[in-house]
Amino acid sequence: MRMLLQRRSVWVAITTAAALAAGGQSALAVQAAPEQTDLARGRAACTPTAPYTGCQEFTFTGAEQTFPVPDRAIQVEAELKGAGGGGSAAAAPAGGDQQAGDGGTTKATLPVKPGDDLTITVGGGGRTGSTTNSAGTQRRGGFGGGGHGGWSGRSGGGGGGLSGVAKGTTQLVIAGGGGGAPGGSAQPGAAGGDGGGTAGQGLTIPAVGGGGTQTAGGAGGTPMGHCNIAGQAGTALKGGNGGTIGMSGTQDAAGGGGGGWFGGGGGGCSPDANPFGEGGGGGGSGYVNTGAGVNGTTTVGGGGAGGTNQKDGTNGTVKIQWKELKPPAITGPADGSSAPGDGPIKGTGEPGATVTVKDKNGNTICTAKVQADGSWSCTPSKPLPCGPNELTATQEKGGVTSEPEKITFNAGQPCISPPQPPVITKPSPPTGTSKSPGKVTVRTQTGEVVCTATVGADGKWSCPPGKPLPPCTELTATVTKDGATSKPSKVARTYCPPKYGKK
């Protein structure tokens, strides 16, 4: 199977079928062990931390998950933990006291916008090595690219899977998985390496697999004697498999490498009684795609715990938090108060956002930039109409516009007095005069707008309705100038035929 991964402007081909058994649906599709799949789980509630307003935690399912960026989200943060590697097959204290590596951590803000779909991969913990199921489902690498542990009388633990977030074919962030433990080594330094950081841990002794870096997979551990299959090097997203002896008895195999931006190398195996022992797998590297505008850090360790003796590694997690652009607040004039019609309009909002204040007709009154302390203020270009005024404020940042905030206050002097009402001289089509220039609006008795017209230089206006008016329709007209609207005109009625039978 073949999948293309976009790495900045470079396309990297991955052709290892074993690494991509999940079908290659997206940039982070890596192998899934069937026994680890549970689509009934996958999401957990979490409490957002300031300044965020929403939070969603993704837990392990063994399959990719999707996160649609919410409406009005202006900042999105991802916190990832890679999965730990699988523990040793041996029971302590009879050897095998070198445990698996922990998964890494990555935390970053993402350059995304509302409506974007993010692909979430949560790494699965590597399976523990086994003395009874060496060639079977034990020792498997975790979902998210963990390499399989080598098999023998005591098989190595599988590498932990990476956790990651991708947008389309572009990886944004990755937390590397920890390397699997050796099958039974008591040799100090033989443990699996921690994942994460710009380079995963590994190579504490020659038999331990190397850690993945930003440009290459970790090297396979050096075999300390005869191996039927040597430890494999890690590749992009995939840890290498541990070295295999394939013999019974107390022969020990090596741990698998952790998944990562580049996977850790599988450990090297060792025959019984070799003084150096077999090695654990190297940790997979983390990744922050700064070239795509991601801002964050990746750290070695701190993720899912590596398995101890005969224990699986802990699964990873991905937590997404976002900040929603709330409506700005209008603090002056206060809702329901009275204030001068030419005074400033003030409030609070999101620093860096642009606030727009409009009247009830949708006309812009003024705009302002929200300051670093969250305050904003703007003054109307001309006084507001005297009397009740409805103000609506929205704020925009990064192409996202908030819901509106509305208040009503009474504007006093200095303010614009409303013009005199127009006169309807002919109801069909509506025609009349006005002493004030401006826009005339004709309405029915139910408030439905019939038509609008601009008063001419001669003081006359006329507007044909969009459809014929029924008989006996009562009409009124208002004129608006400088945002101030007159009272309604006297009622005019379209032709009303005499009642049937009336002389």
pLDDT (tens digit per residue) in 28-52: 545 444 444 455 567 888 999 999 9
Q: Which residue is it, tokens 């975790």?
A: 142
CB 303 within 8 A of CB 108: no
DSSP letters along 355-398, please?
Answer: EEEE-TTS-EEEEEEPPTTSEEEE--SSPPBSEEEEEEEEEEET
Q: How far is CA 244 from CA 148, 153, 181, 312, in A?
A: 10, 10, 13, 19
Q: How confident is the model at residue 134 (pLDDT cuts 50, 70, 90)?
A: low
Mean pLDDT of 471-499: 92
- pLDDT, tens only, 287-301: 999 999 999 999 999
Structurally, what CATH architecture does the domain formed by 329-412 represent? Answer: Sandwich (2.60)
Reduce the DSSP state of residue 19 to 3 states and report it: helix
82 vs 258: CA distance, rounded Å:
9
User: CATH assignment of 423-493?
Assistant: 2.60.40
Contacts for 103 with CB less than 8 Å, ≥ 6 apart: 81, 82, 83, 84, 123, 160, 163, 175, 176, 177, 178, 194, 195, 196, 258, 301, 302, 303, 304, 305, 306, 313, 314, 316
Closest by Cα among 9, 34, 12 to 21: 34
Q: How confident is the model at residue 94 (pLDDT cuts 50, 70, 90)?
A: low
User: What residue ranges do the domains of the chain occupy?
Assistant: 18-324, 329-412, 423-493
Closest by Cα among 391, 413, 393, 390 to 341: 413
Please report the pLDDT score of residue 157 as a whole number: 94
| Structure tokens, 442 | 């004709």
Q: What are phi and psi of 107, to 5 degrees?
A: -135, 130
pTM for the whole thing?
A: 0.81
- Amino acid code (one letter) for 462: S
Q: How confident is the model at residue 426 (pLDDT cuts 50, 70, 90)?
A: very high
144 vs 129: CA distance, rounded Å:
18
Q: How confident is the model at residue 185 (pLDDT cuts 50, 70, 90)?
A: confident
Q: Do domains 329-412 and 423-493 have the same CATH topology?
A: yes
| Structure tokens, 330 | 């209008």
